[in-house]
Structure 1
Amino acid sequence: MCGIIGILGKAAVANDLVDGLRRLEYRGYDSAGVATLEDGVVTRVRAEGKLRNLAERLSHHHLHGKTGIGHTRWATHGRPTENNAHPHATERVAVVHNGIIENFRELRDELAADGMTFSSQTDTEVVALLVDRALRNGLAPIEAVRETLPRLRGAFALAFLFAGEDDLLIGARAGAPLAVGYGQGENYLGSDALALAPFTDRISYLEDGDWAVLSRGAVMFFDSANREVVRPITVVPQGALLADKGNYSHFMAKEIHEQPEVVGRTIAHYVDLANGVVALPDTVNIDFAAIDRLVVVGCGTAFYAGAIAKYWFEQLAGLPVEIDVASEFRYREPPLSGRGLALFISQSGETADTLASLRYTQQGGWPSLAVVNVQTSTIARESTMMAPTLAGPEIGVASTKAFTCQLAVLLALAIHAGRVRGVLSAEREQELVGALVGVPALMNRVLAHETDVEVVARDLTHTTDVLYLGRGLSYPLALEGALKLKELSYIHAEGYAAGELKHGPIALIDETIPVIVIAPRDGVFEKTVSNIQEVAARGGNIILIGDRSAASEVGIAGETAIEMPPVHPVVVPLIYAIPVQLLAYHTARVMGKDVDQPRNLAKSVTVE
């Protein structure tokens, strides 16, 4: 998650911008920059690497501007060079940006056809140039931003600074978080309250689709329909800013809603967005064409991510996959013959059983690849290669954003393996990458209907047993859904492959047991419909998670449906994970459970 800060101050702001960015270093970054208004002129200072490099550059510039924006960047479009660092600017406007502009290529082509030139490889620059063109055409800054925002597709947060406008900053949010801070004769923008902690404890959070106009004396909020709205001011205790929940009741809720941003960031780390192909980072150096066997190991939710990856690697890359829970794998002592690769999945990178399994495969001489969120962890350090997930700190014990970031990495790896192994054509790779890049926007669409999920969750609070069903890629997601509900609400739940229903579990079906069916329109949808009919015939209480056409085709009176947008089958697990998470969260919340710290559980399991 890149970092954003903006300040309308009373004195020179350059050093304060850097101080705010330092509080966002935990998010990870590879370049940084600030832009201030120096006598009305947009002036930028940028640097590769850490903030100390930026601070050193600033020591030679003596900026005195009282209005400015700053950014820490994790490279997505383009390498982590000074030229690609934010802010991006023209003579009229500077912008900093978190997230991905999905349609930047078509916008870039449009701007190029209009005679505009580019100085970077980033998607962000198209935003600056679109606003600049509107300004050249006579629009005022607020109108220029209002005209530009609907042109952008994706999940993003933006902050704008304008030449000659010393008392104006504009921020906008579509998926990625953004907050406004209030001072005395000063106002601020930031990625979250943590960035603003040195300056204020009075915070308002932009809701999805909002944009805000800041002066030193006032802040105006507008929703996605450009209607002026009011966003409440929250007083955030300074100690709480070390781990800020924002305007959410629980860390888990915040982390569910962070998924469009962090999944987008993770995707961008593994994809050449300009060309629509997978481009693995330098930390992953494996020739999948030389591999004849893949062993995937994880625990809990990480294991279910691996189970989904099994489908992807086998279907997209023709690569045989074995998957095991780490606590079994380490003691099963499986033979490690042939040309294999061991893939380990862990959020913390410290999971004891997973670490022991890693060391076992190393003794057998196999190379290892860790999909891990904490890049300084033991598993990350001891693995031959590391594929980082860029979820940022996950406070809630029940994994949410770490899970979907793991899925994003695993799908990118599977697509790459398929291309290298000659299973996927170039056209098929671009199709799959396009579906992957579209995930953050679809996640936003699902989150916009959270209240529908909450209604269903309230009914679950009255039950003692729940069944989850799914086929294909949705089967591991059914297992994950059952795990989440057990973890958070302490309601007994089980996940099954839908085709196994008639081999035993159907004996449990009656009108008292909710049966949650994950039913995307994919290659096994008709089979799933048959299983739904089997449940309905026995009076089962069906909760369908599927798109509108799926709900219509099932045609069962009385069932509850959680409507989903149409989704490419390959990315179903990333999108459908969200209602599964929300169901568990809201069920537990309504029941008054400790959502962030369920009983008997720990975030990182470092013992057997």
Structure 2
Amino acid sequence: MCGIVAGISTHDVVPTLLQGLQRLEYRGYDSCGLAVHMGSLDPSQPAGLHRTRSTARVAQLSAQVAQEQLHAGTGIAHTRWATHGAPTEDNAHPHFSFGPHAPGAALPESSARVALVHNGIIENYETLRAELQAKGYQFSSETDTEVVAHLIDSLYDGDLFDALRQATARLQGAYALAVMHRHEPHRLVGARAGSPLVLGIVPGAGAAHYVASDAMALSGVTDQIVYLEEGDLVDLQAGRYWICDSTGRSLTPAQRPVHTVQAFAAAAELEPYQHYMQKEIFEQPRALADTLTDVVSITPELFGDGAWRHFKDVDSLLILACGTSYYSGLVAKYWIEAIARIPVQVEIASEYRYRDSVPNPRALVVVISQSGETADTLAALRHAKALGHSHTLAICNVGSSTMARETALAYITRAGVEIGVASTKAFTTQLASLYLLTLALAQTRETLDDAAIAARLQQLRHIPAAVQAVLALEPQIISWAQSFTRMENALFLGRGMHYPIALEGALKLKEISYIHAEAYPAGELKHGPLALVTSAMPVVVVAPNDALLEKLKSNMQEVRARGGVLYVLADAHTRIENSEGTHVIRMPEHYGDLSPLLHVVPLQLLAYHTALGKGTDVDKPRNLAKSVTVE
């Protein structure tokens, strides 16, 4: 969601801040802004804070910055995804505090005392707002963030870091903060709780320090990253930094070590593709191969040291995830119960933490997230641990993420950076990882012998090539998409482990084309959805050649009998042919238990080309964010 980049240097930080915002555009945003400390680089400039904000894209903000000729050694920048208040310039970050003053007083921006950017949600902002208004602070936005700027100003007594420490002690909710003060031009402070923040270090003659909500924002600037932990505060100057915990106790370098993080710049380039989503769909063979590259044989230790002990002790699984990751968990339920013979419960993370569940300390809690920072899933993990669950496993795409650090075990997919909001390669690599988990559990519980496990692993190794063959179906998918651009609704059907794939196909279509789409288990047609079927409601059917095929054919006949038009992804030998009202695309091969990884790819392409035909913003669909770091 929202993105932060802030820095302090002996050189101009403005180009770096703008480049960082561009790298964070993938997270989704509806306004952006930048503030600098004038005089922090050139003492001959009039001192003071200056900001510029926009409800357009970062490119427009960059044009405004160039027109205003902003240069500074200290600055903060932000992309905002609206929560409190509409996406207007007044609600855009950075937010200023001018101190207490009379209502209606016209104060120049150069007189601002505090500048602040914030990711997260302050839950007690209404109480704090009333308190600050009583002290004479005037509010110019509808946001919860402005409260924090005024609170820091009210606590400031010559030491910005101390004011931040006192302020965070009063905040309830989630936050990542970067703050400047008029009277301290060569200082930048930050804090995090419930929302990620990293520190980037540029050593040497051009010494600089940065904080950002995502290490990717600092790609090409530094690969030296410190991952701040829950409750940390950081105090930055150009040549040095301090990190303290929430009590103000200074932390040693060993407690927050510097990590060398690979640069992501190349991954963020579009190359010959029109959109990141298109690029990421076609990167799936490579992403799957990379995710499997170190898997020589199946062993529990693929998931971390001590995994065998955890796996031997568990008697069930609890999978917690949101959105697309939740659907990957639904597929895994079919695999794990059928192959490893362990009962599996799959829950939407945002619902699990708010209900009275019955904890089972012998369950393996599996959390799934592309970023490893999904707020609802992290909160669900912490809730499960508080209930006594000690067997925990993260499947995510970022090894340094909070989720990977807070679980006993982890499997890191190698999808690479995923920019498009609609997840594609992250989903298929999650499925591959969950199938590895299935085989590791089957080995531990001895439900499969070594030969059977080896044969299934060999099938999994073939998946990158099989996906490449499915991508060759793109011209036929484009033909389907031309019809879908005229539709307002769509229905997706699947059975068994392909029902979650139908859910994922419907989600992709609605996310980026804005066509209302929903998915059902095909056997549920007669229990309601059949009432909606007309020739104006295309029905997409995932039809693998499995044990449920004949049942599925009966469901398709129910659609045709009501004048519905079918779009069928069929395996070979299904004997489903093109006819009036039935459009068939033949998949290259049937791949048994692994067919969900193949059938989802044409659904991704269908959503992409439908959105392309409708002219929507494919990579940044309205109202959505890539990394959901608030509830």
| TM over 0.5, shorter chain | yes
Residue 283 (structure 1) shift: 2.1
1:431 equivalenced with 2:480 (yes/no): no
DSSP-derived class of the 1:529 partner: helix
1:605 equivalenced with 2:628 (yes/no): yes
CA pair 489-284 structure 1, distance change in 2 beyond 3 A: farther
1:346 equivalenced with 2:369 (yes/no): yes
The amino acid across from 2:619 in the alignment is D
1:472 equivalenced with 2:493 (yes/no): no
1:323 equivalenced with 2:342 (yes/no): no
- Which residue does the alignment assign to 2:486? 462
The within-5 A match list for 1:273-288 is: 277=298, 280-281=301-302, 283=304, 285-287=306-308, 288=311
Residue 284 (structure 1) shift: 5.7
- Cα distance between partner residues in 2 of 1:412 and 1:516: 29
- Which residue does the alignment assign to 1:560? 583
DSSP-derived class of the 1:269 partner: coil
- Cα distance between partner residues in 2 of 1:578 and 1:545: 11
CA pair 530-445 structure 1, distance change in 2 beyond 3 A: same
The amino acid across from 1:413 in the alignment is L
Structure 1 contact 514–541 (Cα < 8 Å) conserved: yes
- Which residue does the alignment assign to 1:522? 546
The within-5 A match list for 1:310-389 is: 310-366=333-389, 367-389=391-413
- Which residue does the alignment assign to 2:271? 246
Identity across matched positions, percent: 47
Question: Which segments of 5 or more consecutive residues in structure 1 lack a partner in the other structure?
Answer: 1-196, 198-238
Structure 1 contact 278–433 (Cα < 8 Å) conserved: no
1:256 equivalenced with 2:277 (yes/no): no
DSSP-derived class of the 1:395 partner: coil
1:507 equivalenced with 2:507 (yes/no): no
Residue 549 (structure 1) shift: 2.4
CA pair 311-242 structure 1, distance change in 2 beyond 3 A: closer
Structure 1 contact 344–354 (Cα < 8 Å) conserved: yes
Structure 2 contact 303–410 (Cα < 8 Å) conserved: no
- Cα distance between partner residues in 1 of 2:335 and 2:478: 31
CA pair 419-487 structure 1, distance change in 2 beyond 3 A: same
DSSP-derived class of the 2:399 partner: coil
Residue 380 (structure 1) shift: 1.0
Residue 523 (structure 1) shift: 1.7
Residue 587 (structure 1) shift: 0.3
Residue 364 (structure 1) shift: 2.1
CA pair 557-253 structure 1, distance change in 2 beyond 3 A: same
Instruction: Report the more deviating stretch, 285-294 or 348-357.
Output: 285-294
- Cα distance between partner residues in 2 of 1:546 and 1:253: 23
The amino acid across from 2:524 in the alignment is E
Residue 257 (structure 1) shift: 0.4
Question: Which segments of 5 or more consecutive residues in structure 2 lack a partner in the other structure?
Answer: 1-219, 221-263
1:199-257 residue CA offsets vs partner (Å, 9 max, x unmatched):
xxxxxxxxxxxxxxxxxxxxxxxxxxxxxxxxxxxxxxxx9967211100000100000
CA pair 453-285 structure 1, distance change in 2 beyond 3 A: farther
DSSP-derived class of the 1:603 partner: coil
Residue 316 (structure 1) shift: 0.6
DSSP-derived class of the 1:343 partner: strand
Q: TM-score, normalised by structure 2?
A: 0.56
The amino acid across from 2:352 in the alignment is F
- Cα distance between partner residues in 2 of 1:499 and 1:242: 42
Instruction: Report the more deviating stretch, 427-436 or 253-262.
Output: 427-436
DSSP-derived class of the 1:281 partner: helix
1:578 aligned residue (593, 597, 601)? 601
1:302 aligned residue (325, 331, 335)? 325
- Which residue does the alignment assign to 2:516? 492
CA pair 539-449 structure 1, distance change in 2 beyond 3 A: same
- Cα distance between partner residues in 2 of 1:241 and 1:339: 43
DSSP-derived class of the 1:493 partner: strand
- Cα distance between partner residues in 2 of 1:378 and 1:282: 17
- Cα distance between partner residues in 1 of 2:503 and 2:336: 19
CA pair 562-554 structure 1, distance change in 2 beyond 3 A: closer
- Cα distance between partner residues in 1 of 2:305 and 2:414: 15
CA pair 414-242 structure 1, distance change in 2 beyond 3 A: closer
Structure 2 contact 536–564 (Cα < 8 Å) conserved: yes
Instruction: Report the more deviating stretch, 463-472 or 558-567.
Output: 558-567
- Which residue does the alignment assign to 1:48? none
Residue 269 (structure 1) shift: 3.1
The within-5 A match list for 1:146-161 is: none
Give 4+ residue runs of structure 1 displaced > 6 Å after superposition.
Answer: none
Structure 2 contact 303–411 (Cα < 8 Å) conserved: no
Structure with higher Rg: it is 2
Residue 567 (structure 1) shift: 2.1
- Cα distance between partner residues in 2 of 1:481 and 1:442: 19
Residue 562 (structure 1) shift: 1.8
The within-5 A match list for 1:44-443 is: 243-272=268-297, 277=298, 280-281=301-302, 283=304, 285-287=306-308, 288-366=311-389, 367-443=391-467
The amino acid across from 2:275 in the alignment is H
The amino acid across from 1:246 in the alignment is E
Residue 338 (structure 1) shift: 4.4
- Cα distance between partner residues in 2 of 1:555 and 1:351: 43
Residue 577 (structure 1) shift: 1.2
- Cα distance between partner residues in 1 of 2:508 and 2:267: 26
Structure 2 contact 570–576 (Cα < 8 Å) conserved: no
Structure 1 contact 314–320 (Cα < 8 Å) conserved: yes
Residue 556 (structure 1) shift: 4.7
- Paired residues in the alignment total 367
- Cα distance between partner residues in 1 of 2:613 and 2:313: 51
- Cα distance between partner residues in 1 of 2:296 and 2:538: 40
DSSP-derived class of the 2:496 partner: coil
CA pair 588-334 structure 1, distance change in 2 beyond 3 A: same
Residue 329 (structure 1) shift: 0.6
CA pair 515-242 structure 1, distance change in 2 beyond 3 A: closer
Residue 596 (structure 1) shift: 0.5
Residue 477 (structure 1) shift: 0.5
Structure 1 contact 271–433 (Cα < 8 Å) conserved: no
- Cα distance between partner residues in 2 of 1:442 and 1:242: 24
- Cα distance between partner residues in 2 of 1:371 and 1:480: 18
- Cα distance between partner residues in 1 of 2:370 and 2:507: 16
CA pair 501-380 structure 1, distance change in 2 beyond 3 A: same
CA pair 555-393 structure 1, distance change in 2 beyond 3 A: closer
- Cα distance between partner residues in 2 of 1:605 and 1:496: 26
- Cα distance between partner residues in 2 of 1:260 and 1:284: 28
Structure 1 contact 270–281 (Cα < 8 Å) conserved: yes
- Which residue does the alignment assign to 1:232? none
Structure 1 contact 344–369 (Cα < 8 Å) conserved: yes
Structure 2 contact 277–419 (Cα < 8 Å) conserved: yes
